[in-house]
Amino acid sequence: MKRWLFTFAGPMAALLVFVLLRHHGQPPALMAGLVAWMALWWITEAVPIPVTSILPLLLFPLLGIDDVPATAAHYGKEIIFLFLGGFIIALGIERCGLHRRIALGIMVRVGSSSERLVLGVMVAVALLSMWINSTAATLVMLPIALSLIDDEDAHADARKRLTVPLLLGVAYGATVGGMATPVGTPPNLVFIALWKQLYPGQDAIGFGQWMATGLPLAAVFLAIAWLLLTRIVFKLKGDSLGGADAVQLRLKALGRASRDEWLAGGVFALVALLWMSGDSIKQGETELFTGWRDRAEALKEVSDAAVAVMGAVLLFLLPASKRMRQPHDAYATHEEGRSLMSWSFAEQRVPWGVLLLIGGGFALAAGVDKSGLSGIIGEAMAGLGSLPMTLLIGSTALIVCLLSELGSNTATASLTLPILAAMADRWGMDPQSILWPSALAASLGFMLPIASPMQTIVFGTGRIPMRQMVKAGVWMDVIGVILLMLFFGLR
């Protein structure tokens, strides 16, 4: 009943917004109504998020906002293929089991105290989340974390105190790690693509440029999150477990790295290196590093998306070992393929709905601009431009963060960034100074289980009381907003 109520509320909200804003003209009022409709459905998930995302294909032509070919083009943008290629590469690492070896290898080196185990889990999942989907990184680390908690050789009281901070550490590490690279989480890609779409005359935001800002921010945030989980919200000092022994046994059970792991890891390393070194890094007028795209004219059009697709294609070409070809193997149950990646394996695991969501966000952004709604929003919020930059960044980041607590972080970024871009133009400020922290704020939601798949997964274990998740999550949201204010407001 509740679902049908929200389903019906979507078009009703659109009609109400249209009536309230029609004095501004029909096109912007219609577009505002559609934004309200899609926002309500995205937040409540009254219908599947990908279904909401393709509404522009139907409604833009009917409402006279844009035609079908122009609208459909937004669902095939270059950034979508960057996400697709990156996810297939991540699946290649998963299919051969390399992701588990990496995670266990990091954890076995951190020691057996409760504090160190939380740190090891957070660092391991953060490093994975920088390159593979944050949800997948969480799913990789969760059984490892649970095995530490359920280790019968450890003291019962110590295991009880460790349970909540360790599980929250899995979710927090995956979320924070995703902020460090463009491919770490979809909101980052939404911002990069939106920047290229709205400001074609500006330099594109490259992989290296993103990491120069995102990696230090993520490192500081991760360190604070660890102190929060082990010293402030929860007290773990002095506890010691035998968990490191269990991790060591699991690592030994994997045996030596297989040929498939070496090949998949090599493809990943090559793609990551090309991503990070493609664009030049400048500080003012000084060029600190010359990217490979600037070294030859023929390479200028080889984008990060092309590099990702190249890596994905390599996985379909490189031969797999006999172990990977056997249908009974855990990593090859979907096809006895002869390559490191099979299409059936990728087809069932690539989040196609997320690709539609990103495309829907781009279509929405174009509609807001084309209908004239962006200008109206800019006029209405022009007064905020008088705030000091630090407070302006903090207030917008907080609004985006609160929205992300209620729905998909990708949907939140797709909905808010086009509006903030219009505001930045109206305020006469550098759009990056407000769009970049707002895109990162879309990943913050730490309070509620519905805020992100990572939160949902760890809460689904049944071992985290809601009160404790909210208590720690409030701290994380506030700290995240403050860090964004400091990193971007004091530049």
DSSP 28-65: HHHHHHHHHHHHHHHHHTSS-HHHHHTHHHHHHHHHTS
The pLDDT value given to residue 329: 43
The DSSP code for 319 is: B
For the chain, give me the number of helices (H) and strands (E)?
24, 2
Residues in the chain: 491
Check if the beta carbon of residue 206 is closer than 8 Å to that of residue 279.
Answer: yes
Whether residue 330 is predicted with pLDDT greater than 50 in this model: the reply is: no
Residue-wise pLDDT for 99-110, tens only, equals 777 766 766 777
Whether residue 220 is predicted with pLDDT greater than 60 in this model: the reply is: yes
End-to-end CA distance of the chain: 50
Residue-wise pLDDT for 23-57, tens only, equals 888 988 999 899 889 878 877 778 887 898 899 99
What pTM does this model have?
0.68
Whether residue 392 is predicted with pLDDT greater than 50 in this model: the reply is: yes
Rounded distance, CA 99 to CA 90, Å?
Answer: 9
Rounded distance, CA 482 to CA 489, Å?
Answer: 10
Domain residue limits, the chain: 78-349
Sign of the torsion formed by the C-alpha atoms of 341, 347, 353 and 357: positive
List the Cα angle 359/31/39 in 5-degree steps. 60
More confident residue, 324 or 95: 95
Helix or strand holding residue 436 (H, E): helix 432-441
The pLDDT value given to residue 223: 96
Residue-wise pLDDT for 120-157, tens only, equals 889 988 988 888 767 767 776 776 777 667 655 556 66
Side chain identity, residue 341? M
> Which residue pairs, CB below 8 angstroms and at least 24 apart, start in 49-52?
49/353, 49/357, 49/408, 49/411, 50/352, 50/353, 50/354, 50/356, 50/357, 52/360, 52/411
The pLDDT value given to residue 240: 61
Percent of the chain whose predicted confidence (pLDDT) is above 70: 84
| Cβ-based neighbours of 129, under 8 Å, separated by 6 or more | 137, 138, 173, 174, 175, 176, 177, 178, 184, 185
| Largest distance between two CA atoms of the chain | 71
DSSP one-letter string for 80-136:
HHHHHHHHHHHHHHHHHTHHHHHHHHHHTTS-SBHHHHHHHHHHHHHHHHTTS-HHH
Burial pattern 196-233, b for ≥16 Cβ within 10 A else e, equals bbbbeeeeebbbbbbbebbeebbeebbebbbebbbeeb
The pLDDT value given to residue 328: 37
Check if the beta carbon of residue 302 is closer than 8 Å to that of residue 79.
Answer: no
Helix or strand holding residue 467 (H, E): helix 466-489
**If pLDDT is split at 50, 70 and 90, which confidence band does 327 have?**
very low
Q: In this structure, what are the phi and psi dihedrals at residue 77, rounded to the nearest 5 degrees?
A: -70, 160
Rounded distance, CA 146 to CA 124, Å?
Answer: 15
- What mean pLDDT is reported for the chain? 81
Burial pattern 433-459, b for ≥16 Cβ within 10 A else e, equals bbbbbbbbbbbbbbbbbbbbbbbebbb
Q: Determine which of 5-14, 65-74, 124-133 has the lowest per-residue pLDDT on average.
A: 124-133
Can you say how many angstroms the Cα of residue 25 is from the centroid of all Cα atoms in its chain? 36
3-state DSSP assignment of residue 206? coil
